[in-house]
Amino acid sequence: MKNWEFSKVKGTSIVIDDRLSDMMGLVDGGYVYSTLFEYIDKGPKKYELILSMYPQENYRTLTNITMYMQDVPGSSAQAAKFLGERGINILNSISIDGISDTIIIWKMLVDLSFAGEVDILEERFKELKGNNDPSVSLIDHISAKPADIGRVFHTEPAKEKIEVGRGAPVTLKNSKYDLSLEYGDILKGLDGNNVMIVADYASWLISVTFFKNETRLVKIGIDIPDCPGSITQVLNWIAEKNINLISVFSKIKICYQTMMLDLVADFGNSKLSIEETKEAMPIAFEKMNGIYVLTKYEELK
């Protein structure tokens, strides 16, 4: 699943795509906690803003739990009761039917503040299951591991980015996050600038990357053969022109025949201009093995 979108700063605000914000639990009227990083290398990124519904001090107790339950009435209620009786607070979660199976898979982010360690939870479940305890009769398996969200915020001077600020909670309004409320002294003059918004499924976070002014982003769509090596041919040609890829997305159109390759590329240090590359790319395709067709080529202005 594609977990990113490209957008622009509008005034002092960024609009969080509904598809991404819904998956990450960022809702209108809710508090959004934030941390701002600055990139110190020579790449295309200038700043990165991490958004979350949870304050940083809670990250050490957040845990990812996946519960596999029988697809029968009452299984979800039994799973919720098992966690609730142990003081485990369910935060963000999603429940889906198992494909070609008779199970329900419930993935959740929980707070283990009062429940102890992950190992203790798993051991207690195995003990009850081994004794055929009716309290877990509809639950087949539990998998738990620390969310490790703190890794996103751990930086060192030698790394490529440094933390420059943490904002007080801001209310999300009309899917917009107002940068000026907490970072107006740092994020200035960004109206119209390109940003990349990424949903981190593993951490339930939203990352907003602000690109440098000299960055030239172009969306490129190519139909390529659905066979080994086809993506390599295209990406090698792009790399030879010193074009930096920001995102790569591929998807089958006709199995074993055609696939779609969507790219967003930075031409800031390219050997060819944006227009020269557009003209040269179809010519290069003719020398590659298979049929390659340029379907989209537009600069993000």
Domain ranges of the chain: 4-55+150-211, 58-146, 217-299
Q: Do domains 58-146 and 217-299 have the same CATH topology?
A: yes
Name the amino acid, one letter, at 190: L
Three-state SS for 286?
coil
Report the pLDDT value the prediction gives residue 151, as an integer from 0 to 100. 67
**Cβ-contact 208, 197 below 8 angstroms:** yes
Alpha-carbon Rg of the chain, whole angstroms?
A: 23
Give me the chain's average pLDDT, please.
Answer: 89
Report which of residues 33 and 201 the model is more confident about: 33
Interval 250-283: pLDDT, tens: 999 999 999 999 999 999 999 999 999 999 999 9
Could you please state the CATH topology (level 3) that the domain comprising 58-146 is classified under: Alpha-Beta Plaits (3.30.70)
Query: What does the pLDDT read at residue 202?
Result: 73
Look up residue 268 and give its two tokens. 């800031």
CA distance 192 to 294: 27
Of the candidates 300, 298, 299, 280, the one whose C-alpha atom is nearest the C-alpha of residue 234 is 280
266: which strand partners?
Answer: 217, 244
C-alpha span between 161 and 37 (Å, rounded) = 6
pLDDT, tens digit (0-9, with 9 covering 90-100), for 71-92: 999 999 999 999 999 889 898 8
Architecture in CATH of 217-299: 2-Layer Sandwich (3.30)
From 102-106, 246-250, 271-275, 292-296, the region with the lowest mean pLDDT = 102-106
Out of 29-33, 98-102, 226-230, 234-238, least confident range: 98-102
8 Å CB contact between 199 and 61: no
Q: Which of 35-44, 222-231, 278-287 has the lowest mean pLDDT?
A: 35-44
What is the arithmetic mean of pLDDT over 191-203? 87
Q: 37 pLDDT exceeds 90?
A: yes
pTM for the whole structure: 0.84
